Homo-oligomer: A and B are copies of this chain.
Amino acid sequence: LRVDLYPFASAIPDHQDLKGKVAVVIDVLRATTTILTALTNGADTVVPVLSPEEAFQVQGDNPERQFILGGERQSVLIPGFHLSNSPLEYTSARVGGRSVLFTTTNGTRAIRAAAGADQVLIASFLNAPAVALELLRLGQDVAICCAGTNDQFALEDGGCAGAILDYMSGPETSLVLNDLAYTVREIYRQFDRKVANLIYTAEHGQRLLTMGLQEDLLLCSQLGTTRTIPRYHEGQISR
């Protein structure tokens, strides 16, 4: 079982090079944590779009679907949107039974870039153990596609990939890792599974802290609180 890790959206291989593989998309702070939270709180689907304009367009074309509009630019609410990119806002009361049009700076770009894979799983620390088990069950080669931050490696995404790889590793599994996958598994282990420490060390974690988003960081650093694995298929993400 070979696992290749890509550090940010623009480093993800072309669609045809992902054929035959399972992709795992990670944007811990906060897109994939928020998508997972929306779906576990009963949202019907999450539709990732690349821009606010695309969201308004899809909303206008499908008024009957009564979309919730969610996401961020510069980490804050987009004018005209209902919800920001904070997982805390995606409560059952707000998203239960609804579809969410969702756009973020890095996360939704990574999801769309990964779309060439046979399956596209959405991961965060919340479902990392479940994703690891599913990858072992599927038994196909894996492309872990981290969103990163503005075309740079983000420690929180790498750390989450490291957590998945740590859960996958064992005497009965033979993993072949690219150098970055190897590196992040070591880093995760070095933090001794203290995910909050890892997230607080990350540059983007620090940035969100200075914006007063401490509660978000705490939620995003929960490890293994759900077995739900969202999948992206034909333009939308569902359970």
Q: A residues near B, CB below 8 A?
A: 7, 11, 151-155, 158, 178-180, 182-184, 186-187, 190, 201-204
List chain B residues, Cβ under 8 A from A178. 152-153, 203
Give the number of times this chain occurs in the complex, counting copies: 2
Complex CA–CA separation, A187 to B180 (angstroms) = 11
List chain B residues, Cβ under 8 A from A158. 179, 183
Complex CA–CA separation, A178 to B180 (angstroms) = 16
18 contacts between A and B (CB under 8 A): A7-B7, A7-B180, A11-B11, A11-B152, A152-B178, A153-B178, A153-B183, A154-B179, A155-B183, A158-B183, A178-B203, A179-B203, A179-B204, A182-B201, A183-B183, A183-B184, A186-B187, A187-B187
Interface centre among A153, A155, A179 (most CB of B within 10 A): A179
For A5, give the chain B residue with the smallest CB separation.
B153
> What is the minimal beta-carbon distance from A131 to any residue of chain B, in angstroms?
21
Known: A11-B151, A151-B11. A202 touches B186 (CB 8 A): no
Complex CA–CA separation, A153 to B180 (angstroms) = 6
What are the nearest 3 A-B pairs in CB distance? A155-B179, A153-B180, A179-B203
> What is the minimal beta-carbon distance from A208 to any residue of chain B, in angstroms?
14
List chain B residues, Cβ under 8 A from A186. 186-187, 190
Complex CA–CA separation, A180 to B183 (angstroms) = 10
Q: Give which listed residue, B11, B151, B183, B204, contacts A187 with CB less than 8 A.
A: B183
List chain B residues, Cβ under 8 A from A152. 11, 178-180
List chain B residues, Cβ under 8 A from A183. 153, 155, 158, 183-184, 187
> What is the minimal beta-carbon distance from A172 to any residue of chain B, in angstroms?
22
